[in-house]
Amino acid sequence: MENRTEQMKKIKDEIVAAKDSPLYDFRVKNKYFPVIGEGSHNAKIMFIGEAPGKNEAETGRPFCGASGRVLGELLASIGIDRKEVYITNIVKDRPPENRDPLPNEIEFYAPFLDLQIEIIKPEIIATLGRFSMAYIMKKFGLESELKSISAIHGKVFIAQTSYGSVKIIPLYHPAVAVYGTNKEILKKDFKVLKEFIK
């Protein structure tokens, strides 16, 4: 039986070699890296964003720019070290001009995310932004609960997975705090996360 790190490495190798990806040519042309994910493979909390930005594609690390600084602050505000969680995106390559991911891009990369969830077996999935929220809620049969992010951010939904139940908590993307929207809302939502980690 392969351990979690070996299983994650397989996913990385597959994405690196994925010439059929709709973003492969853009990655190669710009000498970007795919951004697979970072953190503990035994994490209780998994954060899922949308797609990497320029800083992320240049380093291969998720949330390493301004949004990452905000995420780090939010984690610190509830006493969690970034190394204890796992952070990834649905789409593993940067879309041009930081535009929203397209449906065919989400469709291509989502199976890799599904595998990452199966490997890590998180107790809590915190989605960052509306694309990951929509994908995860639909994946886990919560489509009827799906509303705009402004209506359901910070709420807790229980879903069943192959390894047991998981709590899904939609959160605003940290970028909203970078661009001046109230960081206090995000801090309040992160307190919800804290209630579940003892």
Instruction: Note the pLDDT tens digit of each residue in 76-135.
Output: 999 999 999 999 999 999 999 989 999 999 999 999 999 999 999 999 999 999 999 999
3-state SS class at 183: helix
Q: Write the burial class of residue 146 (CB in 10 Å: 0-12 exposed, 13-18 middle, 19+ buried).
A: middle
pLDDT at res. 81: 93
d(CA 186, CA 198): 20
Tell me the Ramachandran region of residue 155: left when phi exceeds 0, alpha when psi lies from -120 to 50, beta otherwise. beta
Instruction: State the pTM of this model.
Output: 0.96
Instruction: Note the pLDDT tens digit of each residue in 174-191.
Output: 988 776 667 888 999 999
End-to-end CA distance of the chain: 30
d(CA 90, CA 3): 23
Which domains does the chain show, CATH number per domain?
4-195 (3.40.470.10)
Which of 144, 136, 197 minimizes the C-alpha distance to 169?
Answer: 136
Region 53-63 average pLDDT: 95
